Structure 1
Amino acid sequence: MPKPLALSILDLAPIAEGTSTPDALAETIKLAQLGDALGYTRLWYAEHHGMASIASSSPEILISSAAAHTKNIRVGSGGVMLLNHAPLRIAEAFRTLEALHPGRVDLGLGRAPGGDGYAMRALRSGGGEEFSAYLAEMMAFDEDNFPSDHPFSRVPVAPGGIRLPPLWLLGSSGASAQAAGQLGMGYAFAAHFSHTPAAPAFEAYRYGFKPSEAMPEPRTILGVSVVCAPTDEEAQYLSYSQAVQWALFTTGEQRRLMSPEDAHARVLTSQQQSVIDHQSTLWIVGSPETVRDTIAEKAESSGADEVIITTTVHSYELRRRSYKLIAEAFGLVPR
């Protein structure tokens, strides 16, 4: 009998129209506590910059907050955009988190800047081709294995006596898959926004996997976007907030997440409608039964060990309801 599918949560801390940023951040705690109680495996926070509809710009702060308000669920980054940060800074931040919450923290790392070109300039973000160097530097700090003549060999990482939590590489095209395997890390694929199939990336990852102390066996996570409601019709109605948000963002309009009523009343350009037509094929929208069957099929066809779910609807209460319905549909064991 196959083992039950592990389910996790990816929280972008969406900011809905009619609410404030403090409201959105307070909601991260409510969702963390709900996910913990429902039996979700882990809760990750994304890093996005310069987006009016997203409050998740500092994953390490949200991780610390969520861990302090929960007991069992793993908390981590999905992910830290490493090119925006000095590798020593990330090594120190996540060693600190691991020391505060031993055995409950994940460090997921992404190549993307998490924002547009203006945000990259403001962050002094490195170029994509530098990611491997940033990653090697962060790991050298953690493992204390710089060559003796390297200037950084004289820099002790604080806090000492602690190692980084388990590392995960995030990908949306398969480019990071082989590297994740060779470095003995976990691998998470962003199928919630990428049209590239995940199965070949997971296969390449497993083929090249070399066990590490933190990751003795290969581990794969499939990211999916889900809106669940009691009926297919209600879920489709609620999901239009996300659909219009994607269309507006892609065509350069920044605003907070609008209500489904306002979204349905919005007159879209042909370009915006084509964005929705293209992107919505990736989203899983429907009743608990519809969502359960679709998630299970995607996990099986891709070879994922775990599925991490991001949900974007205008109502925070209905967002929490969506995660609750999914947990019940899969028979997660409440804690």
Structure 2
Amino acid sequence: MSAFAIPFSVLDLAPVASGSTETAALRNSLDLAQVTEGLGYHRYWVAEHHNMPGIASSAPAVLLAHIAMVTSTLRVGSGGVMLPNHAPLVVAEQFGMLEALHPGRVDLGIGRAPGTDQVTARALRRSAGPLSADDFPEQLTELANYFTGRDSRGVTAVPALGNQPAIWLLGSSGYSAQVAGHLGLPFAFAHHFSAENTLPALALYRERFRPSGVLAEPYAMIAASVLCADDDETARALSQPAALQFLQLRKGKPGRMPSPAETAAYPYTDLDRLFIDERLDAQVIGGPETVRAGLTNLIDATGVQELMITTNVYDHADRTRSYHQVAEIVTLKATT
């Protein structure tokens, strides 16, 4: 628990930098997990992305197994597994195994979107049929039943049965918020790329919440982009490569995170700069006092029970330094 009275956690997108390798990105993830555990962060999630050269975390369960092995107190989890991409049985077996190996430390965050382009999604599903998330409630029920032994077909998911991780629903709009509320599950919202939908989705979650065997009251967390440096100017400069990478993604040209030199040399249009400015305005970026004020405002506005931070910069040392500075701002280490 922090001086802000809520836990702070980490979302790691395993960024692959220009001039670097996927191996280096994954090793950075292992290093960052150990660093943030020592600083007092509560949980550490990795995301599922496919066909994206700038993100190395295509197989969350595999990466989480390694992260859990090099840490001891962090909760580790998926932020998230995109359920339409996978057979629920496979997800149950993978995360049941993680829970069996690391009891009481595993979160299974579930999303309903493919999280990739349609061609890649079809390759994942090995199906030429139409891609739709409309059967998400049925898939979610099937997944949950493998952990409890309620599968009506008599399929036993080993070692999922009896080893259920904490299940979260993830979203960037109102749909999953309503499902999470209806089922009485914790809800995590992707504020870092859908900030305009954050407050409406949280309101829907709380309105639709029904107490369950998991939660008596709503438990909401948001993932926010946060970058802290010694001063506002330095932080703003460090934020530019990730902003350009996101711009290129939106233009249909996903790639590795550009270097500062590549970022400076990019031929920005006026619309490009407007897009980047609007994106950065939704993030918490600056020196310690600016970040303190930004975190305070974000928590007050959303009323969340937990804040998950994602920090994406070109240099891994700058990323770890930012997590150190945020920990000092919210005094995580002093109160854990």
Structures share fold, TM-score greater than 0.5 = yes
Structure 2 matches for 1:314-329, cutoff 5 A? 314-329=314-329
The aligned amino acid for 1:129 is: D
Q: Which amino acid aligns with 1:316?
A: H
Tell me how far apart the structure 2 counterparts of residues 228 and 290 of structure 1 sit (CA, whole Å): 9
Question: Are residues 1:259 and 2:259 paired?
Answer: yes
User: Aligned residues: percent identity?
Assistant: 44
Mapped to 2, the partners of 1:273 and 1:164 lie a distance apart of 46
Within-5 A mapping of 1:164-313: 164-313=164-313
Residues 109 and 167 in structure 1, CA contact (< 8 A), matched pair in contact too = yes
What amino acid maps onto 2:225 in structure 1? S
Question: Aligned equivalents of 1:28 and 1:247: distance in 2?
Answer: 24
| C-alpha displacement of 1:255 | 2.3
Q: Distance in 2 between matches of 1:102 and 1:94?
A: 11
CA distance 1:268–1:3, change in 2 (3 Å): closer
5 Å-filtered alignment, 1:148-163, equals 153-159=153-159, 161-163=161-163
TM-fit CA distance, 1:146: 3.7
Rounded to whole Å, the distance in 2 between the matches of 1:59 and 1:146 is: 25
Aligned residue in 2 for 1:150: none
Aligned-pair RMSD on alpha carbons? 1.8
Q: Give the distance between the partners of 2:117 and 2:289, measured in 1 at CA.
A: 37
Paired residues in the alignment total 329
What is the one-letter code of the residue matched to 1:77? S
Task: Please state how far the C-alpha of 1:154 moved relative to its aligned partner.
Answer: 1.8
In the alignment, is the contact (CA less than 8 A) between 1:251 and 1:272 conserved in 2?
Answer: no
Q: Deviations over 1:164-213 (max 9, x none)?
A: 21111111112111210221211011110103342332232223323333
CA deviation digits over 1:47-67, x for unaligned, max 9? 000011100111111111111
Q: Which letter does structure 2 place at the counterpart of 1:281?
A: D
C-alpha spacing 1:65/1:216, structure 2 compared with 1 (3 Å):
farther
CA drift of 1:275 comes to 2.8
Counterpart residue type for residue 132 of structure 1: P
Structure 1: 5+ residue stretches without partners: 148-152
Pair 230,72 (structure 1): closer, same or farther in 2 beyond 3 Å? same
Moved more, 276-285 or 20-29: 276-285
Of 138-147 and 286-295, more deviation after overlay is shown by: 138-147
Q: Distance between the aligned counterparts of 1:211 and 1:161, measured in 2?
A: 24
Distance 1:17 1:321 in 2: 20
Name the structure 1 match of 2:107: 106
Question: Deviation string for 1:214-254 (max 9, x for gaps)?
Answer: 43432110110112101100000010001111111111223
Residue 71 (structure 2) aligns with: 70
Aligned position for 2:52:
51
Q: Secondary structure at the match of 1:308?
A: strand
Hey, what's the Cα distance between the residues in 1 that align with 2:206 and 2:4? 19
Q: Which amino acid aligns with 2:93?
A: E
Contact map agreement 1:172 1:191 (CA 8 A) in 2: yes
**Are the aligned partners of 2:17 and 2:257 in contact in 1 as well (CA < 8 Å)?**
yes
Report the more deviating stretch, 221-230 or 252-261: 252-261
Counterpart AA for 1:213: G
Gaps of 5+ in 2: none
Q: Which amino acid aligns with 1:317?
A: A
Judging changes above 3 Å, is the alpha-carbon distance between structure 1 residues 118 and 270 closer, same or farther for their aligned structure 2 residues? farther
Structure 1 146/160 Cα, relative in aligned 2: closer, same or farther at 3 Å?
A: closer
Q: If the length of structure 2 is used for normalisation, what is the TM-score?
A: 0.93
- The 8 Å contact of residues 246 and 275 in structure 1, kept in 2 or not, is answered as no
1:137 partner letter: E
